[in-house]
Amino acid sequence: MSILVDSRTRLIVQGITGRDGSFHARQMIDYGTNVVAGVTPGKGGTRVDGLDVPVFDTVREAVEAAQANASVIYVPASASADAILESADAGVQLVICITEGIPVNDMLRVHHLLAGGNITIVGPNCPGVISPGKCKVGIMPGFIHKPGRVGVVSRSGTLTYEIVYALTQAGIGQSTCVGVGGDPVIGSKFTDLLPKFEADPDTDAVVLVGEIGGADEEEAAAWYTRSPRRIRIVAFIAGVSAPPGKRMGHAGAIISGGKGTAKDKIETLMNHGIPVASDTSQIPDLVKKVPG
């Protein structure tokens, strides 16, 4: 098994006629993802060169015609919040938003409108989700992944690639890898996704990749020890040398008010029984050493 995406995923690409949407649609199809439709307002009925994928004006039309259950968003930041809401209104169960630079106020509006609803949002400003050998939704390089029993959930796209490659080189395959995104307001946090890994019988361990800013890692540590867990967790925290008050890369990666430092996060995770690697190259050995 896996979480979020698998061979049953029927994917819509919002923005499929654009440069990024068409490029990554090809990459996802080549990986084996079942891309059933594309959406670009005003271009319904057209085709994208080299892609045997119908294009619709609206997500609702695509869902009704192609029985889609997931959507990936490659549209400009100014339209991305409305694209998420359009998918939700059409009954899409999973929305993965790759777009970066979406205004915080726009994502706050999405959050308040969809809170408590039956939809999972991943992103924005994320690399996507991949269940190796089954389905890839996003921009991650599929060839570095290997099917297996270790999940990865990360706030950093490039660190995800580095850690996945290290795991694969060590012969450790992955069940599902999720890039949650690095913005202050995101659709799914660690505590939303860890229970899904816990419920997946084919995931034995999870690598949690955090960074400075916010309290998501501390909340994940508290979740881990709230009751006995089947999965094991190991972690890596980026930003150990980041100066206070300085945003490092992601909009959400900023230490403010003396909170959210890498040191505090590492201490909290270790106090909750989660081993933390000081270097990404240590993660495969940590995964192997954590008792089952």
Structure tokens that stand for 56 in this block: 């619709």
**Nearest-CA neighbor of 50 among 29, 20, 73, 74?**
29
Angle at 1 between CA 229 and CA 217, to 5 degrees: 40
Structure tokens that stand for 259 in this block: 């909170």
Strands 70-73 and 55-56: unpaired
Helix axes 262-271, 216-226, angle to 10 degrees: 0
Helix axes 77-89, 104-114, angle to 10 degrees: 10
d(CA 32, CA 78): 30
24 is catalytic: no
- Per-residue HEC secondary structure of 235-250 comes to EEEECCCCCCCCCCCC
Instruction: State the catalytic residue, choosing from 111, 145, 250, 272.
Output: 250
Sign of CA dihedral 283, 162, 192, 105: positive
Strands 147-154 and 55-56: unpaired
Phi/psi for 203 (5° steps) reads: -115, 120
Phi/psi for 193 (5° steps) reads: -95, -30
Alpha helices in 32-137 (DSSP H): 59-66, 77-89, 104-114
234 SS3 class: strand
Structure tokens that stand for 7 in this block: 């061979």
Q: Among all residues, which ones are annotated catalytic?
A: 250
